[in-house]
């Protein structure tokens, strides 16, 4: 049976969620990196955001600068997951830093044992996203 009324106490917060909230609360900014599964972000990332967004209006993500990077084996680079993540982060009170978001397509072929020009280009874009996040 779930939490149903204001007269009942909410369920206890799991220790891992408490540690995550504390880590996000003390961070200056947050970098979220996600794969795209079936056109969306993974449930585990959504759950992490939900835990850090509570209590509503005072959650750990409120007022945080956030960069997001999506990875996909497809050419769009997780663009759908990134758009969903932008919305969810905004609802949780975070601010997605413009220019600090990146969709990396064909990720399964990048970052192999021998660097390629595509690796170098993606690494430069990631470095720029991090620079903007830290600015």
pLDDT for res 13: 86
* List of long-range contacts for 104-113, beta carbons under 8 Å, 24+ apart: 104/69, 104/70, 104/71, 104/72, 104/77, 104/78, 105/72, 105/74, 105/75, 105/76, 105/77, 105/78, 106/72, 106/73, 106/74, 106/75, 106/77, 107/35, 107/71, 107/72, 107/73, 107/77, 108/73
What mean pLDDT do residues 31-45 have? 92
In terms of pLDDT, which residue wins out, 11 or 135?
A: 135
Specify the pTM. Answer: 0.83
pLDDT for res 129: 95
pLDDT tens, 73-124?
888 888 999 999 999 999 999 999 999 999 988 887 776 666 666 778 888 9
């Amino acid at each position: 049976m779930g939490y149903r009324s204001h007269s009942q106490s909410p369920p206890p917060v799991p220790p891992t969620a408490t540690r995550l909230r504390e880590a996000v609360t003390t961070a200056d900014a947050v970098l979220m990196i996600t794969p795209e599964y079936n056109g969306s972000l993974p449930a585990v990332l959504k759950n992490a955001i939900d835990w850090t967004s509570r209590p509503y209006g005072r959650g750990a993500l409120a007022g945080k600068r956030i960069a997001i990077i999506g990875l996909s084996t497809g050419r769009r680079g997780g663009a759908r997951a990134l758009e969903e993540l932008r919305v969810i982060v905004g609802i949780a009170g975070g601010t997605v830093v413009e220019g600090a978001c990146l969709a990396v397509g064909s990720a399964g072929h990048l970052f192999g044992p021998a660097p390629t020009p595509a690796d170098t280009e993606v690494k430069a874009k990631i470095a720029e996203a991090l620079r903007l996040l830290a600015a």
